[in-house]
């Protein structure tokens, strides 16, 4: 007999089903809408968790990612008229857009490379792992409040490489300090 999952794990599994279910019910206007998918998927996950007591729910992470993406897209585009959106998108200069995306990706890759050097003594870390988790943290910082992406980065690097959380926290603190020091020096000289 396998042990019952902990309360927190079961609550997390239930929230992955209940949040999209509640959102789908609240926003549902037509059977042929995205909210129907959220409603149906949330109901299916909630029932699966309740009947199986939280064990064996396959695809939990994928469903949670899709549901969160749909909910935030709905929040972001709720009062936007699609015609106006297409007009703005048609007016964009694709070369400038690609330039901005490329320089942003390069800047994050260089930050990941810098973090790799800070983590080097913490354990067996590859450059790819440091850059990947830096990209993850930037997404978390954009999508979540209170710069939660930094916490995600610390947890992700530990899962990917086995670096201790203390070493990861210390390296992130050093990285943030190296971001602040040049700014503090320029403020002092400007005053």
Across the chain, which distance is largest between two alpha carbons, in Å?
Answer: 69
Q: What angle do CA 121, 125, 127 make, to 5 degrees?
A: 115
127 and 112 Cβ atoms separated by less than 8 Å: yes
The per-residue pLDDT string of the chain (191 residues; one tens digit each, 9 = 90 and over) reads 444 556 656 666 667 777 777 777 777 766 566 777 777 777 777 777 666 655 555 666 667 777 777 777 777 777 878 788 888 888 989 999 999 999 999 999 999 999 999 887 766 899 999 999 999 888 888 877 788 889 989 988 988 888 888 989 999 998 888 888 877 666 655 55
Q: Where are the domains of the chain?
A: 7-80, 93-190
The vertex-155 CA angle with 150 and 158, nearest 5°, equals 125
> pTM score, two decimals?
0.59
């Amino acid at each position: 007999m396998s042990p019952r999952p902990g309360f927190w794990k079961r609550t997390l599994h239930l929230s992955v089903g209940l949040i999209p279910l509640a959102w789908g019910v609240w926003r549902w206007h037509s059977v042929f809408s995205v909210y129907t998918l959220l409603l149906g998927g949330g109901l299916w996950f909630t029932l699966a968790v309740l009947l199986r007591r939280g064990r064996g729910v396959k695809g939990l992470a994928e469903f949670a990612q899709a549901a969160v993406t749909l909910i935030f897209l709905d929040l972001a585009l709720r009062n936007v008229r699609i015609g106006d959106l297409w007009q703005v998108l048609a007016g964009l200069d694709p070369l400038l857009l690609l330039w901005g995306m490329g320089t942003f990706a390069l800047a994050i890759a260089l930050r990941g490379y810098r973090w790799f050097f800070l983590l080097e003594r913490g354990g067996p870390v590859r450059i790819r792992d440091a850059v990947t988790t830096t990209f993850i943290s930037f997404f978390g910082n954009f999508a979540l409040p209170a710069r939660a992406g930094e916490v995600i980065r610390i947890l992700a690097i530990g899962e990917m490489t086995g670096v201790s959380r203390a070493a990861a926290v210390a390296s992130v603190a050093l990285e943030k300090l190296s971001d602040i020091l040049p700014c503090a020096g320029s403020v002092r000289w400007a005053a």
